[in-house]
Amino acid sequence: MKRRIRLALEHLLYRKEESVYAERPREGFRVMTYNVRCDAEADGVHNWRYRRRSVVDVIRGELPTILCCQELYGNQYRYLMSELSGYDSYGVSAADGRALEKGMKTYGLCIFYDDRYTLVDKGCLWLSDTPHKP
């Protein structure tokens, strides 16, 4: 099962020949999921501004080829993009399924992928009775 999932993910990405990020491992294919949790003032000491640095540290420690994030608001997306050099991304809004936008007011889902790869296909399928509707 793991091999089939890996092959399916590799099918969606095409590896580029060169990378300026030589410190990252060249072999292996790692996938990581992370529920970032929305940025809510009501979270008090667990608010995004207090935990964002540790989120980045965990991701950098794992160096995933593909990172799937849930509950990501526009400001969180911008922060992760600024901190995670070497990644490109594709994301959608959970409200309407449209492409993730920097200033969006609702949360979304985002896949960050190693920029040594080129995205060759994209889309979003919701696990529901109506999979083409968010």
* Predicted pLDDT at 32: 94
Residue 109 has what pLDDT?
85
Distance of CA 121 to the CA centre of its chain: 15
Q: What is the pLDDT of residue 103?
A: 57
Beta-carbon count within 10 A of 66 CB: 19
Q: Identify the pLDDT of residue 4.
A: 55
Distance of alpha carbon 92 from alpha carbon 111, whole angstroms:
9
- Position 121 scores a pLDDT of 85
Which residues, including other chains, have CB under 8 Å from residue 106's CB and lie 6 or more apart?
73, 93, 94, 95
Mean pLDDT in consecutive groups of 10 residues from the start of the chain, 134 residues: 54 48 61 89 89 91 91 88 90 73 71 90 77 68
DSSP state of 132: T
Q: What is the DSSP string of 2-35?
A: HHHHHHHHHHHEEE-S--S-TTS-SS---EEEEE
Phi–psi pair at 133, nearest 5 degrees: -120, 135
What is the pLDDT at residue 21? Answer: 41
Global pTM reads: 0.73
What is the reported pLDDT for 87?
A: 92
Q: How far is CA 35 from the centre of its chain?
A: 10
- Residue 77 burial (C-beta neighbours within 10 Å; 0-12, 13-18, 19+): buried
Cross-strand bridge partners of residue 110: 69, 91
